[in-house]
């Protein structure tokens, strides 16, 4: 190996070892919401993957009240007091339909806000909850700035985080007792392919015994049909509503 190529290799190694940058932005600032109103951004951080914001939204009620919501790249994930509980409870409802005592390992694909992990850590104290999250800055934000939102999930003994694309890191598991798909909506073709394609979801269907899957804007019957091909039956479906009333579904699946 020549001298120069050795230096090049060293530079590459040094760059690869750089810690991920989670850049805190100056707040407050105001943004236009799709309701036509202004939202007040009280926390903002830029990660290599996305812009993470906590936004105060004026409620529509008669008494002026601000509701706090988590937004990723301007897309709402949850709003306190509106759909935060509804969405995560819809996932957790699967526990009423399956033998909880048999659940030892739980995998959440996405879910970096930790809300679902915090709930499951309480409901399944004997299981280990693995959060397969792409963005390390999400974990940083919810560990350091908003731990109360997820009941201190990332400080719990039985919650473990694995950073990386969930459809790669899932390869570390031979079998999964219970899987939750808590990924963003498939708003375009690229995301549909990256998060909800039959090949990607097939990886979950191959390994898990029970699955709670948010449809992410994809027709739930399509996802359920795909699951049936892997030997699953539908044991329930919960309606989830978004901040502005749009509805989605969480399907609960069991290997027959
Ligand atoms: C915050 S949860 C919320 C999802 C919820 N269904 C919603 O849209 O309201 C979505 C998480 O998935 C993560 N994510 C996106 N793509 C991912 C991937 N390929 N692997 C793992 N996590 C991913 C995001 O970083 C984000 O933290």
Q: Quick one: which atom of ligand 1 is closest to the CA of 49?
A: 25
CA dihedral 94, 96, 101, 103 (to 10 degrees): 0
Question: What is the DSSP secondary-structure string of 204-226?
Answer: HHHHEEEEEEE-TTS-HHHHHHH
Q: How high is the pLDDT of residue 4?
A: 45
Token code pair at residue 172: 């570390």
Ligand 1 midpoint to CA 8 (Å): 35
Indicate whether residue 177 lines ligand 1 (CB < 6 A).
Answer: no
Record the pTM. Answer: 0.92
Question: How far apart (Å, rounded) are the C-alpha atoms in residues 34 and 75?
Answer: 10
Here the tokens at position 235 are 């044991």
Same domain (yes/no): 197, 94: yes
Confidence class for position 242, pLDDT limits 50, 70, 90? confident
Q: Confirm whether 226 is domain-assigned.
A: yes
- Mean of pLDDT values over 117-143: 98
Pair 115, 236 in one domain: yes
Task: Write out the H or E segment, with its range, that includes residue 3.
Answer: helix 3-16
Q: Whose CA is nearest to atom 27 of ligand 1?
A: 112
Tally of structural domains, the chain: 2
Burial label, 176 (beta-carbon count in 10 A; 0-12, 13-18, 19+):
buried
Q: Which among 55, 78, 101 is the end of a domain?
A: 78
Same domain, 92 and 135: yes
Q: List helix spans (H) across 163-253.
A: 166-169, 189-196, 198-207, 220-229
pLDDT 10s digits, 20-63 = 899 999 999 999 999 899 999 999 999 999 999 999 999 876 56
Domain residue limits at 136: 84-255
- How far is the centre of ligand 1, averaged over its atoms, from the C-alpha of 1 (Å)? 42
Enter the tokens of residue 191. 């995301």
Phi, psi for residue 37 in degrees, rounded to 5: -95, 175
First to last CA, the chain: 57
Give the closest residue (by CA) to ligand 1 atom 13: 110
Q: Is the pLDDT of residue 17 over 60?
A: no
Which pLDDT band holds residue 12 (cuts at 50, 70, 90)? Answer: very low
pLDDT greater than 80 at residue 176: yes
Mutate to test the pocket of ligand 1, among 134, 138, 153 (most ligand atoms within 8 A of CB): 134
């Amino acid at each position: 190996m020549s001298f120069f190529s050795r230096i090049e290799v060293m530079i590459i190694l040094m760059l690869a070892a750089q810690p991920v940058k989670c850049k805190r932005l100056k707040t407050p600032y105001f943004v236009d919401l799709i309701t036509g109103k202004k939202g007040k951004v009280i926390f903002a951080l830029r990660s290599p993957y996305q812009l993470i914001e906590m936004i105060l939204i004026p409620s529509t009620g008669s008494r002026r009240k601000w509701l706090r919501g988590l937004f990723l790249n301007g897309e709402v994930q949850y709003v306190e007091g509106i759909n935060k509980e509804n969405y995560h409870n819809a996932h957790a409802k699967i526990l009423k339909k399956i033998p909880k005592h048999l659940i030892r390992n739980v995998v959440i694909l996405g879910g970096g806000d930790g809300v679902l992990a915090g709930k499951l850590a309480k409901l399944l104290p004997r299981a280990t909850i693995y959060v397969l999250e792409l963005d390390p800055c999400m974990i940083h934000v919810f560990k350091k700035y908003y731990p109360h939102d997820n009941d201190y999930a990332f400080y719990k003994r039985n919650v473990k985080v694995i950073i990386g694309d969930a459809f790669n890191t899932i390869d570390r598991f031979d079998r999964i007792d219970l899987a939750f798909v808590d990924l963003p909506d498939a708003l375009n073709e690229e995301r549909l392919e990256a998060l909800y394609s039959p090949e990607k979801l097939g990886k979950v269907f191959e390994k898990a015994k029970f699955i709670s899957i948010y449809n992410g804007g994809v027709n739930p019957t399509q996802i359920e049909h795909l699951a049936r091909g892997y030997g699953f039956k539908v044991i329930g479906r919960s309606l989830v509503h978004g901040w502005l009333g749009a509805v989605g579904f969480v399907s609960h699946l069991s290997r027959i």
